[in-house]
Amino acid sequence: MKLKNQSKSSVILNKEKETAMNTQTKSKSMIKMLEFLFGLLAVLALSSCSSRARAEDPSCYIDMGMRVTINVTDVKLQVVTDQLATNPDCAITVYPFFYKHVTVNVENATVSQVIGILCPQIKCKWILNENHLTIRPYTIIDKWQDNQWVELEQQRAILQSLLPEGMVFENVPLSAVLKKISKACDLTIKAWEDEGNRMVTMDVSGMTVNEALKAVIRYVGGEGAVLIKSGGLFGSYGQHWPWGYPLLGYP
């Protein structure tokens, strides 16, 4: 019985030692990993700072209209950007973490055209600030901003489109007028604050959507704006000022 108890105690002690050793090993591995990550971040920060410092040099610029001939296949982004730099000592600022390689085969193309070939391959965004070129990863925020821009351009095009015939209103609330205009142009338009109950008698047939909005707002003596929904089903309403924003008074 004593032997059994001693053997159990020995097993327990061995397991505790093994657990302690595993914990120490994991701790050491974690510390080494953290040290490596901090070291990597430090190197990246220094690299980024030095490249930015070079880019801020007034003599360090990029000519986006400069014509180049490049024939490279499956190379790192830096290989191409080094060829695009106007001055070899002034590298284009390239953010880290571009792992994908690129292929560019162009003859007598502008730098701008080459960048346009690069970015779709690696999902990058380029920024030109006072002739200093920076290339960075394309983020979720960039995608959201681009979608917003596309939606805004689509909205502008719709506002300049013509309304059909038969858009005649006689003593109709502004809210109902805007609802019919919305249906005709595929936008969602609401009246400004409490103006929806004001009555409208008017023919807006053949007007552009924006002209029609101007006409009905002027007719009801409104503040000069309507609300247009953007962002799809779960979007929000934003102000639209047909005479331009900020509004200092409309005719």
| Contact (CB, 8 A) for 131 and 61 | yes
Assign 242 a pLDDT band (cuts: 50, 70, 90): confident
Q: In 3-state terms, what secondary structure has residue 14? A: helix
For 53-108, how does the pLDDT look when each residue is reduced to its tens digit (9 = 90+)?
444 555 567 788 889 999 999 999 988 988 887 665 667 888 887 889 999 999 99
Q: How confident is the model at residue 50 (pLDDT cuts 50, 70, 90)?
A: very low
Place of tokens 């038969």: 166
Q: Please report the pLDDT score of residue 149 as a whole number.
A: 84
Amino acid at 4: K
Q: Which residue would you say has higher pLDDT here, 75 or 235? A: 75
Per-chain mean pLDDT for the chain: 79
Query: Would strands 102-110 and 168-173 be described as parallel, antiparallel, or unpaired?
Result: unpaired
Over residues 42-48, the mean pLDDT reads 47
- Give pLDDT, residue 151: 86
pLDDT of 109:
92
The tokens for 22 are: 């595993």
CATH of 67-138, one of 3.55.50, 3.40.50, 2.20.25, 3.30.160: 3.55.50
> Which has the higher per-residue pLDDT, 35 or 244?
244
pLDDT at 51: 45
Distances, alpha carbon 108 to alpha carbons 66, 68, 69, 82, 198, in Å = 9, 5, 5, 17, 63
pLDDT exceeding 90 applies to what percent of the chain? 37
DSSP secondary structure code for residue 197 in this structure? G
Given this model, what pLDDT does residue 48 score? 47
Confidence class for position 44, pLDDT limits 50, 70, 90: very low
pLDDT for the residue numbered 165: 94
For residues 191 and 213, what is the distance between their CA atoms, to the nearest angstrom?
10
**pLDDT of res. 1:** 53
Please give the angle made by the CA atoms of 15, 19 and 23, to the nearest 5 degrees: 170
pLDDT, greater one: 77 or 48: 77
Residue 149 · residue 176 · CB < 8 Å: no
Taking the C-alpha atoms of residue 125 and residue 16, their distance in angstroms, rounded to an integer, is: 54
The tokens for 196 are: 């929806």
Residue 248: pLDDT over 60: no
Structural domain boundaries of the chain? 1-54, 67-138, 146-240
Q: Mean pLDDT across the stretch 163-172?
A: 95
pLDDT at residue number 55: 44
- Rg of the Cα trace of the chain? 32
pLDDT over 70 percentage in the chain: 69
Note the pLDDT tens digit of each residue in 171-211: 999 999 999 999 999 999 999 888 999 999 999 999 999 99
